[in-house]
Structure 1
Amino acid sequence: MKGLVKRGRGQWTMPERGRMRIAQFAALFCLCVALIVGCGGSQTGNAPAPDATGTTGSTSGGRIAMGTTQKIETLDPADAYTIFGGILLYNLGDRLYTYEPGTTDIVPQLATEMPTVSEDGLTYVIPLRQGVKLHDGTDFNAEVMKFSIDRFMQNGGGPSFLLSDQVESVTASGDYELTIKLKSPFAAFPALLTFWGVTPVSPSSYEIGEGKFKPDSFIGSGPYKVASLTPDSIKLDVNPDYWGEKPANDGIDIQIYASPANLYNTFRTKGLDVAYQTLDPEQITSLKRETSSGGWEVIEAGTTVVNYMTLNQKVEPTNNLNVRKAIAAMIDRNLINERVFQGQAAPLYTIIPPAFEDSVPVFKEAYGDGNFDKAREFLTAAGYSEANPLNFEVWYPSASTIRANVANTMKQSIERGLPGLVTVTVNSAERATLSQGVDNGLYQTVLLNWYPDFFDPDNFVHPFLSCDQGSPETLCQRGASQGNGSFYYSPKANELVTKQRAEQDPAARAKMFKDLQTLLVEDVPYIPLWQNKDYIFVQNTVKGAAIQPTQQFFFWQMSK
């Protein structure tokens, strides 16, 4: 997906789609990945997955030739913040915790057990696996993990705030025991520890210091090693000393293509075993239609990326609640999916994706799709009529053809459904200008997307509904909703976001997430719009490819 995306704490980027940045983002997550998916609770693929511990042209033997249009900005886990970079790091490194393949269940990886948490929720004690060696032969232990986490927080990379905002200190409390103290309770902390950047690196090859990154190499503990890296390719060799389940292939050769057309044509002519991120809708439709005759398989899954409209409460006319509700009722998600995405997206009716059990389609229940009668009622209550029509603007990043098509589809649908009552003006700006304008509250509505950084509903409510400084009168002056361009301020939302972060009881958290989604649909600071689908295209000679519910792609599962 090419567009302005929001990830993390007020950071904007142009993602390397499929995912990821992440809309931001991962950003991605990512705006990822992104970031990213819903994804559902089961694996989508073409063969069972193994246990969790575990150049151009189709290759011979057991190596897998993969193609993508995603660029590799960096392999440094302290700085990588795009979905594809995250996918590479997931295959090159290990984390304290990961997800059981095909599920959203967190399981230990370099940890041996789930953490022991103190009663106040501030201290996490994590026992570590013994007998693990890094790619350079360094023994993995608590000191190595402490070094890696400290480096992640202190070097100032894009994702550093994910831990530095939460972590007070990291201590090697034993040779194979790590103790992490938090600044405040955070129930989603184990999920955060699955982030691709929280991976051990060799202290003899990396250093701690602002901006001291190694973008062109990676020395960690995972099932693959970097054999070579160029601007248009990366070669991964199997790590023969890997402590866990060995890869089902002999290595991965990734070629980076300049355009979706080149990727599409090379895959169709058998020049690749796997094509992943990103093809145009027409190319996806063609490959899906030709699976039998072409000798390939299309693996399809949802994503955790949410695409939405932000509504600025500081400016007219979107400072009027009835106007925001009217816009919510006007939008026809199914029409957008049909005309823009050729059915390759899924309508979204809340900010928490359906991948989570806590997701409630509140906008579908309250406003529906293209409900012009309901929109007219809200506009009448706001004082608008054919004699006093509503005019509002929709902005999008100029580099995003997808968002241009979405905005214009909205305009045509709304003006046809409410002739003489509503006029929609579609505008665009380049990424940096749009980012600055969103932060400064210049735009009435903007089409954005969000790539989550970790798989927990918190990562979909805190970045949207919380505010660090503000009031009902001034609205949000500093914080997440200000950075998202809505300037939403709700004491109740702030209270619920804070409480769910500290709550360890899943049932109590679920109730809070439901209440937050109720606030979202009542106050309409954002309108959820759609989620893209993710695709892997594989020749029939390749088995085991799958998109995980968490939006990851485990290369080690594939065989040929």
Structure 2
Amino acid sequence: MNWFRSSRKKLQFFQFLGLFLCCCFLIISCRGSQTPTQTGNSSSPTTSNSSDRISVGSIQKPRTLDPADGYEAAISDIITSLGDRLYTYDGDTDKLKPQLATELPKVSPDGLTYTIPLRQGVTFHDGEPFNAKAMAFSLERFSKNGGKPSSLLSNLMESVTATGDYEITIKLKNAFAPFPSLLAFPGLCAVSSKAYEIGQGKFKPNEFVGTGPYKLVSFEPGLIKVDSFDNYWGEKPPNKGIDFQFLGNAASLYNSFKTGALDIAYRDLDADQVLSLQKEAQAKGYQVIEKASSRIDYLVLNVNQQPLDQVEIRQAIASMIDRPLIIERVYRGQAEPAYSIIPNSFETNKPVFKEPYGDGNVEKAKQLLTKAGFTKEKPFEFEIWYSSDSPQRQEIVTLLKEYATQKLDGLMQIKPQPVESTTLFANIPKSIYPSYLVAWFPDFGDADNYISPFFTCDKGSVETGCQEGASKSQGLSYYSEKMNQLIEAQRKEQDPKVRKEIFGQIQDLMAQDVPLVPLLQKKDVAFTQKHLKNIEINPVLGLSFWQVDKEG
């Protein structure tokens, strides 16, 4: 479960408001067509744009660089540049390939034991040699130190041992077919046992000693500097280092890129700024790189609260959602419709919400609401909770409210319920919200990470809903014995074709029961100056900075 990574832009609205009050510059309109030219606050690039280093700008600052404790989006780009995992993803795909491993694991017939051969000739940034003991230490530390992402491994791994100088054996508590994909999670990188230790809460937030293509030079407020690692075992980066710069707001990021102070602007630009740079790209020589991200925006429906306990009501909500309208009005076309909680870039994706519900299927929504007993005089009052820190969430809910008012003949009244994000995420596991709007960022590139965290229920019934388990903690309260059986089956199944069939059944059941409604899949967009080349965005890991070449 990954709520820490879902708040990349939550302060943007307040930063813009403060910017207006303090500087009195024009803030771009959410609906307007004028070019965004606002000036940022005092945050500005802290290093010069040199010819042999790459300068990357974003907004969110990493809380820590310790891979055993970092779970926010801000740390991912840094860790994937500084560290290597057993497995990674091939190019701009979600296909696994060995990194510190030399081949995919050998799996025991019962699916509980994974034997992994390791690469030789690898050195840590502090000069220590990489071997099986070092890899076992790294995985054990991640599991035992109690960091924010530790449960990803501790809930699964029984033990990890060095069964040879360059071989580890991992025993699982329960069969888990996507385990190799989990091992590509950025935090599961190898770290030096000389620099780190195992123990509850024993973290080093300002250090990083791994085996990656870059080594850490400095970690300061507003700036992380990394240099190319001369003794890297793999292909050396074509640049000498990266300056990750964290600016105060999207305005500063936008202006710094336009003035050439940044080589790359990534992730944190708002919709109007993206459109502006796209329009100027040809004339200014900007490169625009787009890739469907692995992020899914969705609407949770608590099946244990009246009247959402009626499937007809949930189906009516699914029918009235107009994804293309949301994408056009709120995201200015910088997203794709999502008809499943599994991203459309995954082979296991099945667009199960498209045929039965479509987009803006107003007549079906009215029929279902009428069947459930609602009238213009007695409408369905539908509360949607969302983070007040997110301008996009506010726009979506406002748009849905206006749409329902105009199209549904008074049968549904949407009541927006903004709440501070910390409160929202604290209350979600209590299942107190009838509905809420949020986004999901996966931990690893397998469909299980979009299914198990939402629909698994350890204790419950159809009558009581989910009382314990993932579905309860996500605020769905959804219980289905058939869903539990299908999830368990795909987690054990090693055959990809059979797993795909099972995921198809899971998605069919999701569309039938509608415990949530998938809305859209955001695009990852990066802008680079014209003198850069070899720019690639992986749908799971993001931009591959270690491949970027800078000419001149």
Taking structure 1 as the reference length, what is the TM-score of the superposition? 0.90
| Structure ranking higher on relative contact order (CA contacts 8 Å, 6+ apart) | 1
Structure 1 partner of 2:255: 265
Q: CA deviation at 1:241?
A: 0.5
Task: Kindly provide the amino acid, as one letter, of the partner of residue 172 in structure 2.
Answer: L
Cα-to-partner distance string for 1:393-416 (whole Å, 9 max, x where unaligned): 111011111100000000101110
The answer as to 2:7 corresponding to 1:15 is: yes
Q: CA deviation at 1:300?
A: 1.0
Q: CA deviation at 1:196?
A: 0.6
Distance in structure 1 (CA, Å) of the matches to 2:184 and 2:489: 22
Task: Kindly provide the amino acid, as one letter, of the partner of residue 469 in structure 1.
Answer: K
Structure 1 residues 332 and 14: CA distance shift in structure 2, 3 A: closer
5 Å-filtered alignment, 1:25-64, equals 56=46, 59-64=49-54
Structure 2 partner of 1:431: 421
Task: Kindly provide the amino acid, as one letter, of the partner of residue 443 in structure 1.
Answer: Y
Distance in structure 2 (CA, Å) of the matches to 1:497 and 1:512: 8
The answer as to 2:493 corresponding to 1:512 is: no
Structure 2 partner of 1:555: 545
The answer as to 2:96 corresponding to 1:114 is: no
Distance in structure 1 (CA, Å) of the matches to 2:171 and 2:183: 13
Unaligned runs of 5+ in 2: 11-44
Structure 1 partner of 2:178: 188
Structure 2 partner of 1:93: 83
Q: CA deviation at 1:387?
A: 3.3
Cα-to-partner distance string for 1:419-450 (whole Å, 9 max, x where unaligned): 22211111111123222332222221100111
Structure 2 partner of 1:301: 291
The answer as to 2:327 corresponding to 1:327 is: no
Distance in structure 2 (CA, Å) of the matches to 1:533 and 1:412: 26
Structure 1 partner of 2:213: 223
Cα-to-partner distance string for 1:257-278 (whole Å, 9 max, x where unaligned): 0000001011111111111120
Distance in structure 2 (CA, Å) of the matches to 1:104 and 1:421: 43
> Contact 2:76–2:541 (CA<8 Å) still a contact in 1?
no
Distance in structure 2 (CA, Å) of the matches to 1:437 and 1:202: 38
Distance in structure 2 (CA, Å) of the matches to 1:126 and 1:423: 56
Task: Kindly provide the amino acid, as one letter, of the partner of residue 460 in structure 1.
Answer: Y
> Contact 1:96–1:199 (CA<8 Å) still a contact in 2?
yes
> Contact 1:222–1:239 (CA<8 Å) still a contact in 2?
yes
The answer as to 2:459 corresponding to 1:469 is: yes
The answer as to 2:229 corresponding to 1:276 is: no
Task: Kindly provide the amino acid, as one letter, of the partner of residue 219 in structure 2.
Answer: L
Distance in structure 2 (CA, Å) of the matches to 1:56 and 1:287: 23
Q: CA deviation at 1:12?
A: 5.4
Q: Percent identity?
A: 49
Task: Kindly provide the amino acid, as one letter, of the partner of residue 157 in structure 1.
Answer: G
Distance in structure 2 (CA, Å) of the matches to 1:399 and 1:140: 44
Structure 2 partner of 1:243: 233
The answer as to 2:304 corresponding to 1:314 is: yes
The answer as to 2:352 corresponding to 1:362 is: yes
> Contact 1:144–1:201 (CA<8 Å) still a contact in 2?
yes
Q: CA deviation at 1:378?
A: 0.8
1:74 corresponds to which of 37, 40, 64 = 64
The answer as to 2:391 corresponding to 1:398 is: no
> Contact 2:375–2:411 (CA<8 Å) still a contact in 1?
yes
RMSD, matched Cα:
1.4
Aligned length: 516
Q: CA deviation at 1:83?
A: 2.0
1:104 corresponds to which of 72, 88, 94 = 94
Task: Kindly provide the amino acid, as one letter, of the partner of residue 344 in structure 1.
Answer: Q
Q: CA deviation at 1:58?
A: 5.1
1:206 corresponds to which of 196, 201, 209 = 196
SS class of match (2:187)? coil
Q: Which moved more, 1:450-459 or 1:106-115?
A: 106-115
> Contact 1:233–1:255 (CA<8 Å) still a contact in 2?
yes
Q: CA deviation at 1:294?
A: 1.7
The answer as to 2:518 corresponding to 1:524 is: no
The answer as to 2:122 corresponding to 1:132 is: yes
Task: Kindly provide the amino acid, as one letter, of the partner of residue 479 in structure 2.
Answer: Y
The answer as to 2:160 corresponding to 1:155 is: no
Task: Kindly provide the amino acid, as one letter, of the partner of residue 525 in structure 2.
Answer: Y
> Contact 1:58–1:64 (CA<8 Å) still a contact in 2?
no
SS class of match (1:271)? coil
Distance in structure 2 (CA, Å) of the matches to 1:353 and 1:432: 27
Task: Kindly provide the amino acid, as one letter, of the partner of residue 101 in structure 2.
Answer: A
Q: CA deviation at 1:60?
A: 2.4
Structure 1 residues 291 and 109: CA distance shift in structure 2, 3 A: same
Distance in structure 1 (CA, Å) of the matches to 2:443 and 2:533: 29
Structure 1 residues 551 and 202: CA distance shift in structure 2, 3 A: closer
Q: CA deviation at 1:112?
A: 1.2
Cα-to-partner distance string for 1:115-171 (whole Å, 9 max, x where unaligned): 111111111111111111100010101111111111000000011011111111001
Cα-to-partner distance string for 1:463-490 (whole Å, 9 max, x where unaligned): 1111111111211111111111110000
Structure 1 residues 89 and 255: CA distance shift in structure 2, 3 A: same
Distance in structure 2 (CA, Å) of the matches to 1:321 and 1:190: 37
Q: CA deviation at 1:200?
A: 1.0
Distance in structure 2 (CA, Å) of the matches to 1:505 and 1:425: 46
Structure 1 partner of 2:450: 460
Q: CA deviation at 1:173?
A: 0.7
Structure 2 partner of 1:36: none
Taking structure 2 as the reference length, what is the TM-score of the superposition? 0.91
Q: CA deviation at 1:14?
A: 5.7
> Contact 2:67–2:79 (CA<8 Å) still a contact in 1?
yes
The answer as to 2:502 corresponding to 1:493 is: no
Structure 1 residues 95 and 174: CA distance shift in structure 2, 3 A: same
SS class of match (1:365)? coil
Cα-to-partner distance string for 1:97-121 (whole Å, 9 max, x where unaligned): 1122133221111111211111111
SS class of match (2:91)? coil
Distance in structure 2 (CA, Å) of the matches to 1:130 and 1:206: 21
Structure 1 residues 376 and 12: CA distance shift in structure 2, 3 A: same
Unaligned runs of 5+ in 1: 1-6, 19-54
5 Å-filtered alignment, 1:538-553, equals 538-553=528-543
5 Å-filtered alignment, 1:361-380, equals 361-380=351-370
SS class of match (1:527)? strand
Q: CA deviation at 1:59?
A: 2.2
